[in-house]
Amino acid sequence: MDADDEPIGPAISWLDKRRAAHVPSLPWLWRGLFAGLGLTATIDAFQRAAPANWRAAHAPEAHRRTRRAVLLSGYLVHRLIGEWRDSVSAQVGYLPFDYKRRRWAAARDWKWQAVAVEREQLPELVEPGEPLGELSASAAEALGLARGLPLFSAGADKACEVLGCGAITPKTACVSLGTTATINTCRDVYREVTRFVPAYPAAMPGHFTDEIQIYRGFWLVSWFKQEFAPDTVDAAAREQRAAEALLDERIAPIAPGSDGLIVLPTWSPGVRIPGPEARGAIIGFTDAHSRAHVYRAILEGLAFALREGRERIEKRSRTPITRLRVSGGGSQSDQAMQILANVFALPAERTHTHETSGLGAAINAAVGLGWYADHASAARAMVHEGERFEPEPGAVALYERLYRDVFTGLYNRLKPVFIGIRDAL
């Protein structure tokens, strides 16, 4: 935003692939420390992905005009109340944020030297459930709401989703079957389940979410529909049904394991797990396989990857996950829910609504209004159980064998191939 509080340009989406050609140089002491920890490539990736660094390198005039640097949530809050404030739990971008202490980084933190943003450009941070301000006259008129209506701090979409699933203890995992598939747990201590990758601030004060992310997640379903099932999409439109409902019917007769077809859902590169060389894979094809097998194998591969995430969280936290709550658009698929139950060997539970992110935000408003004493009591009152899918013993045994003997370690076995492809192109 410029000095007149107007956007300098369009918002930069978190999916944007642009990378800064030049980044701020860190002092030699920090460079040496990161090199000793084996983090040089990770820090470089962080710096090149930071939108502020891209602007500084590629749009220097716009960068010089920057008075405020905020995430979309901070911009929307400003439009609603006229103040530069944002939720602590919304700070999940490439900014100088101290995740452990839930505040902007200290003055001597290396992040201020790594990212081209100044402290005075950033908004005031407010804990979830605390008031942000009141609706301004102009915002109230535009929205048809009462002037002075209180606005409360909530959190980022995933943070609110975990809360809206009722996953407020470490033993309950929230699996989100969205564009990016994730598995999260919530706890009241800070712990990095992937070394040097921060735990995010939860949408409740003093809590953090352990998150393992499958970057392309249920985007793979959209990719499959677009590339391999446009006729199914058209048929679903004629019948006024969701395409996923028709696909569910077509994979229902296929036995668990997709007749030996395995999907490794690492379609996009990562920073550490998976690494920057990552590519996806579909292996085990025979002449007996159809596109329905591919679709089922995608659902199974995502479930395997999420289970791998579960085991990483359990190993690092030393806390077993005993309950599985599932949300997101993909949770509306009965087949996806049953596959999760079988792969995890746990009942897969829907909540009463798949719009759990909105529910998590509503819980914060309810706490802010004083309807409930705290977030835990609000979640217990406002989150209700939906349909429950029980594990099927025969399928559990088969998936266990496929997971242990085939899927686990598959990425590492294919990693040299992915590196060879990358280096050849």
- pLDDT-based confidence at residue 196 (cuts at 50, 70, 90): confident
The rounded percent of the chain whose pLDDT value lies above 90 is 86
Same domain assignment for residues 32 and 166: no
Whole-prediction pTM: 0.90
Q: Per-residue pLDDT averaged across 24-44, rounded? A: 91
Same domain assignment for residues 49 and 135: yes
Please enumerate in sequence order all residues whose Cβ is within 8 A of that of 393, keeping only pairs 6 or more positions apart, or say none: none
Domain C-terminal end among 122, 152, 182: 152
User: Residue 371 domain-assigned?
Assistant: yes
User: Residue 320 domain-assigned?
Assistant: yes
Domain C-terminal end among 104, 130, 152: 152
Model pLDDT, residue 197: 83
Q: Per-residue pLDDT averaged across 25-30, rounded? A: 93
User: Residue 245 domain-assigned?
Assistant: yes
Q: Which domain holds residue 128?
A: 28-152
Q: Per-residue pLDDT averaged across 406-417, rounded? A: 95
Same domain assignment for residues 228 and 364: yes
Please state the domain count of the chain. Answer: 2
Same domain assignment for residues 198 and 144: no
Same domain assignment for residues 135 and 237: no
Same domain assignment for residues 176 and 141: no
Least confident of 56-65, 211-220, 294-303: 211-220
Least confident of 43-52, 204-213, 266-275: 266-275
Model pLDDT, residue 19: 93
- Residue 2 scores a pLDDT above 80: yes
- Residue 337 scores a pLDDT above 70: yes
Same domain assignment for residues 121 and 37: yes
pLDDT in tens, 347-391: 999 999 989 999 999 999 999 999 999 999 999 999 999 999 999
CATH number at residue 51: 3.30.420.40
User: Residue 8 domain-assigned?
Assistant: no
Same domain assignment for residues 390 and 367: yes
- pLDDT-based confidence at residue 231 (cuts at 50, 70, 90): very high
Same domain assignment for residues 133 and 190: no
- Cis bond upstream, residue 269 (ω within 30): no
Same domain assignment for residues 253 and 339: yes
User: Residue 95 domain-assigned?
Assistant: yes
Quote the mean pLDDT of the chain: 94
Decide: 245 and 289 in contact? Cβ < 8 Å. no
Model pLDDT, residue 271: 66
- Residue 329 scores a pLDDT above 90: no
Of 255, 234, 256, 254, residue with least CA distance to 243: 234
Domain C-terminal end among 152, 172, 192: 152
User: Residue 246 domain-assigned?
Assistant: yes
- pLDDT-based confidence at residue 13 (cuts at 50, 70, 90): confident
User: Residue 359 domain-assigned?
Assistant: yes
Same domain assignment for residues 266 and 140: no
Model pLDDT, residue 373: 96
User: Residue 20 domain-assigned?
Assistant: no
Q: Per-residue pLDDT averaged across 35-44, rounded? A: 89
Same domain assignment for residues 241 and 201: yes
Model pLDDT, residue 179: 87
pLDDT in tens, 85-125: 999 999 988 999 999 999 999 999 999 999 999 999 999 99
- pLDDT-based confidence at residue 272 (cuts at 50, 70, 90): low
